[in-house]
Amino acid sequence: MAETTTRAAQPRGFRSAELGWPELHRIPHPPRRLPLLGDVLGANRATPLQDSLRFARHLGPIYRRKAFNREFVFVWGAELVADLADESRFAKHVGLGVANLRPVAGDGLFTAYNHEPNWQLAHDVLAPGFSREAMEAYHPMMLAVAGRLTDHWDREQAAGRPVDVPGDMTKLTLETIARTGFGHDFGSFERDRPHPFVTAMVGTLTYAQRLNSVPFPALLRRAAQRNADDIAYLNRMVDDLVRTRRTAGGDGDLLDRMLETAHPETGERLSPENVRRQVITFLVAGHETTSGALSFALHYLSRHPEVAARARAEVDRVWGAAAVPGYDQVAKLRYVRRVLDESLRLWPTAPAFAREAVQDTVLAGRYPMRRGAWTLVLTPMLQRDPEVWGADAERFDPDRFDPKAVRSRPPHVFKPFGTGARACIGRQFALHEATLVLGLLLRRYELRADPGYRLSVTERLTLMPEGLRLHVERRAGGSATAAPVADSDEAPAASASRCPVSGAGD
């Protein structure tokens, strides 16, 4: 708790870069900067992340952009990001779209400022909810929800209709986190339209992103009212869920931990308001990013039949004739995991994270930063850095995550879950769920891409392939096609790195 105290007086971050970067003039910016407006020529309000990637390719590993009266520094070079990972000099910065989510998520794990004590309290209380024992208990529920997905896909296939990949992955991951974490069933697969929770969630994420693209929030008056209505709905829904649990009790899931567990050292408990914020945080973050990761992975599998065939052969070999895979069998899908990692490399669904200086320092020995100065790390560009990933860094190739290839790369070049103490607490949950689902779908279906589809990425703070539809065909034999064979592949180093929840590493 000492770290929290020392950072209590720290600035929350400068709104404009010139206040925190004494030698800002040394950092390039786009040409044709306009007075008052800044670097808005050619910008698209709907795709700020993809605009930033385009500028990054032209301006290099560190650059700046100005929008109206606010200037931001962007970083993606591997050397610079490795320096920003130094926890003794840098910490998470809550800014841009993340800060815009505070009206709904407050001091939840994702949106808390570093000086707010509830972050450490909630982290310590909830970390055991992502232990191996807890994950093993979630596994049957993940299987049950996946069964609802395959039932739905079977019906769509029988009717000759393509499946809506992003929509169905959103249903899957929402039901998974709701059931495993909070004992709740949204009935997503029984609905013709998205559950109102999803509609409200998408509304709040979209509004948070739009706030960054206007000079005055008053210009979004109608959108602000819709956002307030969305937040009110999310709060009511979660309050009802918590009220029911207090009456009926649970079975030791995340919600029970929030309501009943005291901090092991201080004896503190989460307040009712913070419980609401944490539930909303987990429901949103626990399904939105995983659904995107699964959707991108299925897109690439459909476009690379040789990769899908290799992954499917691994599933058949490792799971064999078992009706359903056991918990330990999921981690043995090492090539399937590489497919997932490579999809996250190209399109990390949480596509950026911000870091701020906790003291006056010099980034990578070249760029002075005052305490509180901050920068935004562009994860998709970091993970496409040709100096690290090669001249073909834009190409989809799961063998980049072969153990030897992983060991040959420097640290801090693969960051789909953020970095440091504030990295994703649910990383192992998301990876287990996504690997399990990919294995089940590969085992059951052949995936057929629409030849006319071209990948289009929609942005709402998170990333998702837009309009992705796939035709699925049941495989001969249905589920299992081979007897189990010992898997001799060495476990990839990427799989071995552990979430901060359980200790070392990123």
Q: Which residues are catalytic?
A: 289, 417, 424
Q: Are 450 and 469 in contact (CB under 8 A)?
A: yes
Name the token pair of 372.
């509180």
Q: Are 479 and 323 in contact (CB under 8 A)?
A: yes
Residue closest to 369 by CA, chosen among 2, 86, 69, 1: 86
Name the token pair of 189.
């697969």
Q: Are 105 and 281 in contact (CB under 8 A)?
A: yes
**Type and span of the H or E element at 183:** none
> Alpha carbon of 322 to those of 8, 55, 113, 292, 445: distances in Å?
54, 50, 47, 29, 17
**DSSP designation for 276:** H
**Type and span of the H or E element at 177:** helix 165-182
Chain-centre distance of CA 19, in angstroms? Answer: 30
Name the token pair of 59.
């301006």
Q: Are 154 and 148 in contact (CB under 8 A)?
A: no
Looking up tokens 């896909």, which residue turns up? Answer: 153
At position 473, the amino acid (one-letter code) is E
